[in-house]
């Protein structure tokens, strides 16, 4: 076991105590953290130990709790359309023409984009799952892959069930960088019976069930009229929430729905920018948090968001919650940082990332405190405020995943960015033209 020590001006842990150490130390060996704390309390090490005085600020990598990253190939398409038309007119026709190679290039670009922003993990719902795993293994990121099930492509359901089950057996590795869940698109797309089938599969595998829930006001009108209940209550009544569920969006949920989510331990991926861009509404973040629902942040796909920079969600989610409540005390700085790290990791089923503590995996980023946005700091709380409100990609300099450095001085070490950008541009043009 080869120990390495990182020393920094500040270490923000995002642990259960929200510990901040200035100056701080992070010790690591074999990709795991062995010690974190204040520099003056650090255990002694001999001269053989590698000590990297990185300066700046160290904190856990961000976790994108809901994304469709290969949509980098469709970024900008269908702008201004409401959700259903955006899907049926702009997205699904192009996705129907995609090949695994297209998905690989789109995922590679998006994975690099996230890593450069300090996002070390993404939870993906998409097709071409093997190509996506291959892309992430090369980029060096961490991936929660939930193979998508979409009615237009998987109308029978049975073949897809077998495919997903086999994929889980092949790739799910709780000790590695790839874990696997199940990704039925939604009840409005697949119908209740198929979502129940996928939930039963997830239960049998002890896997995360990842689906869209209550994204728009209109999407479930027919189902709700048939059952006489909200879509959240319908899924609860049909045992879908008996599995480990990650529900994306949850914009149109009321207090009764929120109580069900909390009681069933359903985690939520909050995607405020995508929701705003598609005109879906504003999710009741503070109500869900007060009820005890675990809420993480997701960008959604780059086609609906425009960006994979989770720092934008950190800022926007807190601002929306405050202005909606007319109360600047809701969603504190610490809370919004936690939702992008520890809470997002918990939401996607990961226990050993999203915070810096002994025993966790070294998924860590460095930020440059020399940037003007971090000046001044007259007391410790101001520094966290600067991170939350000004912590954009321009300040992330270095990134480690599972102890391996993948970004150095703002440059990818694992991906030929020039080649990837060219390939995505060429392939996107083909998909657009048909």
pLDDT attached to residue 423: 97
Residue 32 has pLDDT above 70, yes or no: yes
Residue 73 near residue 110 (C-beta atoms within 8 A): no
**The pLDDT value given to residue 289:** 97
Contact status, residue 293 vs residue 268, Cβ threshold 8 Å = yes
Sequence-ordered list of residues with C-beta below 8 angstroms from that of 159, at least 6 positions apart, any chain: none
Which band of pLDDT confidence, cut at 50, 70 and 90, is reported for residue 81?
confident
Same CATH fold, 62-347 and 3-60+356-412? Answer: no
Q: Output phi, psi for 371, to 5 deg.
A: -70, 150
Q: Is 306 helix (H, G, I), strand (E, B) or coil?
A: coil
In this prediction, residues 58-84 reach a mean pLDDT of 93
Return the CATH fold of 3-60+356-412: Urease, subunit C; domain 1 (2.30.40)
ω into 197 cis (within 30 of 0): no
Rounded CA-CA distance 172/4 in Å is 29
| pTM of the full structure | 0.96
pLDDT number for residue 95: 86
- pLDDT over 90, % of the chain: 85
The predicted-structure confidence for 306-317, as pLDDT tens digits, reads as follows: 999 999 999 999
Average pLDDT, the chain: 94
- CA-based nearest residue to 404, from 27, 14, 32, 108: 32
C-alpha dihedral, 69 to 70 to 75 to 77, nearest 10°: -120
How much is the average pLDDT of 45-53?
Answer: 91
**29-43, 182-196, 272-286, 392-406: the lowest-pLDDT one:** 392-406
For the chain, give every domain's residue range.
3-60+356-412, 62-347
Decide if pLDDT at 156 tops 70: no
Q: How far apart are CA 149 and CA 290, in angstroms?
A: 32
pLDDT exceeds cutoff 80 at 154: no
Comparing 91 with 177, which gets the higher pLDDT?
Answer: 177
Binning pLDDT at 50, 70 and 90, where does residue 395 land? confident
Give pLDDT tens digits for 333-384: 999 999 999 999 999 999 999 999 999 999 999 999 988 888 888 887 889 9
- In this structure, the number of other CB atoms found within 10 A of the CB of residue 361 comes to 28
- Evaluate if residue 155 carries a pLDDT over 60: no
Stretch (H or E) spanning 64: strand 62-67
- What is the rounded end-to-end Cα distance, in angstroms, of the chain? 54
Assign residue 159 a region: left if phi > 0, alpha if psi is -120 to 50, beta otherwise?
A: alpha
Question: For residue 79, what pLDDT is reported?
Answer: 87
Structural fold of domain 62-347? TIM Barrel (3.20.20)
Mention every residue, 6+ apart, whose C-beta is less than 8 A from residue 231: 187, 188, 213, 214, 220, 223, 224
């Amino acid at each position: 076991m080869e120990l390495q020590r990182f020393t920094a001006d500040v270490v923000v842990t995002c642990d259960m105590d929200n510990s901040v150490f200035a100056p701080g130390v992070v010790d690591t060996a074999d990709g795991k953290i062995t010690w974190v704390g204040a520099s003056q309390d650090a255990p002694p090490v001999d001269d053989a130990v590698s000590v990297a005085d990185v300066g700046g600020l160290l904190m856990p990598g961000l976790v994108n709790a809901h994304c469709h990253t290969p949509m980098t190939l469709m970024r900008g398409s269908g702008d201004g359309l409401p959700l259903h038309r955006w899907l049926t007119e702009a997205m699904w026709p192009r996705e129907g023409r995609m090949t695994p190679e297209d998905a690989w290039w789109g995922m590679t670009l998006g994975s690099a984009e996230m890593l450069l922003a300090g996002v070390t993990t993404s939870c993906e719902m998409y097709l071409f799952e093997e190509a996506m795993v291959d892309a992430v293994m090369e980029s060096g990121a961490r991936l929660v892959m939930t193979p998508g099930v979409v009615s237009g492509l998987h109308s029978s359901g049975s073949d897809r069930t077998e495919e997903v089950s086999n994929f889980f057996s092949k790739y799910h590795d709780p000790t590695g960088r790839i874990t696997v869940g199940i990704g039925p698109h939604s009840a409005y797309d697949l119908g209740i019976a198929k979502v129940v089938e996928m939930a039963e599969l997830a239960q049998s595998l002890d896997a995360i069930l990842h689906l869209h829930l209550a994204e728009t006001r209109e999407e479930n009108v027919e189902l709700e009229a048939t059952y006489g209940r909200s879509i959240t209550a319908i899924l609860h009544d049909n045992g879908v929430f008996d599995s480990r569920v990650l529900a994306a969006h949850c914009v149109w949920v009321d207090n009764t729905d929120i109580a069900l989510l909390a009681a069933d331990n359903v985690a939520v991926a909050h995607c405020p920018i995508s929701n705003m861009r598609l005109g879906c509404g504003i999710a009741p973040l503070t109500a869900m948090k007060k009820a005890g629902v675990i809420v993480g942040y997701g960008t959604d796909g780059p086609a609906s968001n425009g960006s994979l920079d989770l720092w934008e969600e950190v800022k926007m989610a807190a601002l929306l919650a405050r202005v909606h409540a007319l109360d600047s005390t809701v969603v504190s700085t610490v809370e919004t940082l936690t939702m992008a790290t520890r809470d997002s990791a918990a939401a996607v089923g990961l226990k050993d990332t999203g915070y810096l503590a002994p025993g966790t995996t070294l998924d860590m980023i460095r930020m440059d405190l020399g940037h003007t946005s971090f000046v001044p700091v007259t007391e410790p709380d101001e520094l966290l405020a600067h991170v939350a409100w000004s912590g954009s990609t321009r300040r992330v300099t270095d990134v480690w995943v599972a102890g391996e450095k993948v970004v150095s001085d703002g440059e990818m070490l694992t991906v030929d960015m020039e080649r990837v950008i060219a390939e995505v541009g060429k392939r996107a043009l083909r998909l657009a033209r048909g």
